[in-house]
A and B are shown apart, each in its own frame.
Chain A
């Protein structure tokens, strides 16, 4: 289970990173119909209202949800890692004990 949490955490980071890169590289959308207002081409030096770049607004609830999921995943990963490390530690001690007894 902790390994699953760890894997999910890594996958989520990659998915989030990839989405961010995709958005920054490919833009938020590529629908041909969504071009009635192109800030770059609409802009005119004189006589036209300067077209300001439209920013996609992310709502507070969405941000809170994303943050909660991130925190949960991170906590799960840390817990999983500690459990894993503890398990290795105990196993290693057990081996040492076995070795000492064998002598």
Chain B
């Protein structure tokens, strides 16, 4: 029986539901502004001012309300303005267009003032007051209903948290040893999905979903997730293989600098921050870029030891012929750390004004890996305040982290969020909390594990699902996310159930040596690739430990042709090179390039038979090796035998 870490459960059990002080202050400010607008709006009617002022004033109560005062057919403009206001709010949420709702609201009030004739409709103030009160009551009622449901869920969770934790710890598989790490043929086929996209000539983006560049289907997230998959693969399975695997990661990093990827920030900076002069992508806010990209960058640095992106200005975000924002791994991390420090919430916005806790988890994870690589103390100096804010400002009454909150108004916006989605990140910097979070998520997931037609357990999610990578229906992304997190916590039963669901429902296709899910977006496929190769604590170890130290100094496989040579395993103890290769296309002889051998030393290549070769003066060597199916190779210095 596993030991229950009671202090993990304790936090949950003691948790007193509340709304944090910053959120409360924002709510008060929003209410005060709205109250002032209502009073100002009513004054012209009370004081018998001209009809134009009365109509405009009533327009301050509710978007388009002034059209009621205009009367006649103009009344139709009231619902029309409300619809337009809803669109403006969508633009505000989707692309940080803070000015959109303001323009619609104030603009409609001014228009109503301009349209009104000799007299305002006398019933308008009464009807508007009734409408505002009705909407307010409805919103309050909904909020109370939600609060009651969340409090009930909290009570249920309090009762079950200890058992849930015990179960989660008990079923968790052990962390695999280095000797066990080898990609299966399916894993290799899946990794080819990511490699195909990453290895195309720089600037080309074939095989990506091209929707919008603001929300979840944006190219940047696809690039990030392809990078995370390849980075984790290299760290956990092939740390001693650089070659095309490192090329692929560098390509993705450099593709990210393309203005088509980050240019959205020019717009968001303008209409969200009203900043037309300095759209620095790693300046104020934009943790959806800095946090996500920071992880990808640091994974590459950590896996390869290549510090080119830590050189000053090595990441030029080129806006046009004259304007370049020079960044590097340091400035990206500093941006995250500074924004955490500057924000009253500690967590800070992606799009101007919208704080997404999930992106802030990426941000904190990026600091965790950066701290390890460069010896800084960003995480220890920020984490307490960050977690406190997360618990008080961004947690609902049931104890789950919310999807997002407006930093301007304090309003919580309905956006899907799942504990499982956060747990993997917290495992990198707050593993106890992560374990609790996973235990809670796991309890919820148990209800969707069913026995499939072939008798094997699989996940069944209700409805048609939604793929955030292409805005179509489908569950590929959800299954991949669940599988990925379950594997991180060693829960292979749930992970395998998710894998079966993915294979059965999401259009698995194995053609041309590439495994893909045709009913999933590119983002979902990238996540599925990482989930497939994921084993217990792989993400945490990639972030907090990196590859074995011996692999960073020992010999490496530096050149192999893609996809002719597929690398399922590559480790070094500092002197040897332990490889498992597969032919990607035709079996037969294939050339391999080795580096970081001892200059001029003699080595033996063992793969059934044994032959020897000598490294050149730079420590490099080239070999031709016959690859037929799974081909293990062991390269050892002759004097070490």
| A residues apposed to B, CB below 8 Å | 3-4, 6-7, 10-11, 14, 17-18, 21, 24-27, 29-32, 35-38, 40-48, 50-51, 53, 88
Contact = CB atoms under 8 A, between A and B. Distances in A.
Contact of B80 (A14, A25, A32, A44): A14
A7 B77 contact: yes
A41 B472 contact: no
Nearest to A17: B87
B635 to A, nearest CB: 28
B210 interface: yes
B77 A40 contact: no
A46 B471 contact: no
A15 to B, nearest CB: 10
A32 B513 CA distance: 25
Given A25-B211, A50-B206, A41 B471 contact: no
Contacts of A7: 73, 76-77, 80
B280 interface: no
A27 B521 contact: no
A32 B210 contact: no
Contact of B209 (A11, A25, A40): A40
Nearest to B222: A40
A4 B74 CA distance: 10
B234 interface: no
A41 B517 CA distance: 7
Interface in B536-563: 563
Nearest to A35: B519
Given A10-B80, A35-B507, A42-B518, A30 B473 contact: yes
B170 interface: no
Contacts of B212: 24-25
Given A27-B211, A32-B464, A41 B525 contact: yes
B522 interface: yes
Interface residues of B, number: 47
Contact of B196 (A29, A45, A53): A45
Contacts of B519: 32, 35, 38
Contacts, number: 102
A17 B80 CA distance: 13
A6 B470 CA distance: 36
A26 B471 contact: yes
Interface in B57-88: 72-74, 76-77, 80, 83-84, 87
A9 to B, nearest CB: 11
Interface string B470-498: 11111000000000000000000000000
A22 B77 CA distance: 22
A83 B525 CA distance: 59
B176 to A, nearest CB: 29
A48 B464 contact: no
A40 B473 contact: no
Nearest 5 A/B pairs, CB to CB = A43-B207, A3-B73, A45-B196, A40-B522, A30-B472
B591 to A, nearest CB: 17
A35 B207 contact: no
Contacts of B462: none
A29 B207 CA distance: 19
B470 A27 contact: yes
A44 B211 contact: no
Contact of A45 (B72, B200, B209): B200
